[in-house]
Amino acid sequence: MDMTGKTVLITGASRGIGAEAARVFAAAGANVALIARNAEAVADLTGELGAERALAIPCDVSRYWEVAAAVDACVRNFGALDVLINNAGVIDPISHLATADPEAWGQAIDVNLKGVFNGMRAALPVMQAAGGGTILTVSSGAAHNPVEAWSAYCASKAGAAMLTRCADTETRADGVRIMGLSPGTVATQMQREIKASGINRISQLDWSDHIPADWPARALLWMCSPDADVHLGEELSLRDEGLRRQIGLIEE
């Protein structure tokens, strides 16, 4: 997939799937705007990718005005916004409902659900005015299945999955392509936090059970191609071996 001349804004770009997506899209020729709360990390990644092709924007996705300012900065710097990847997410608090901290629970909703809304709300007018664009949201199997001590994560991911469907319903006619990606368990810092909790079956998985972060990154790139148009409005799962083969993550 050649992304030369295209501009991609990636949330949660400081590490994990977001950082790998930045590398994959930049390698495909795209300009990449990298947003995260960790200003130093996205600055370092920008230096790695090259300042002429990458832009670091410190941003808290839970605050709409910061996301809107990030979109404006992206458009000013690169002249367009072709792809938004809603990747930012947190797993904490890992806690049973009866003992969960209300502030921490609400913060997870602010990042995982409101953050996706904020990205869509800021990007959609730009894309509609341009006649099209692509919005991809990193989802989770937790959006569809309850997991012990993950009530905030499950609820927020379920909400984000429905946002994806709503946004597709409202904007497909405007040429905006919207999909979700459920990557399965990925070898990132989030999995280390899950492992450390010792709660539920996912924390008991061996590190070798997790897929590498470049797999979902490469899947996101493939989802920008016409080959993925049959999946508009859907959530794709990287647990599907057929999809892995189609993307080229495993051999035929």
- Residue spans of the domains in the chain: they are 7-245
Rg of the chain's alpha carbons, rounded to an integer? 17
Residues labelled catalytic: 153
Longest Cα–Cα distance in the chain: 51
Phi, psi angle pair for 55, to nearest 5°: -130, 125
Q: How many helices (H) and strands (E) does the chain have?
A: 9, 7
**pLDDT mean over 33-58:** 95
Domain boundaries 7-245, CATH class = alpha beta
Chain segment 84-120, per-residue pLDDT in tens: 999 999 999 999 999 999 999 999 999 999 999 999 9
Q: Which helix (H) or strand (E) holds 237?
A: strand 235-237
Amino acid at site 251: E
Chain segment 135-161, per-residue pLDDT in tens: 999 999 999 999 999 999 999 999 999
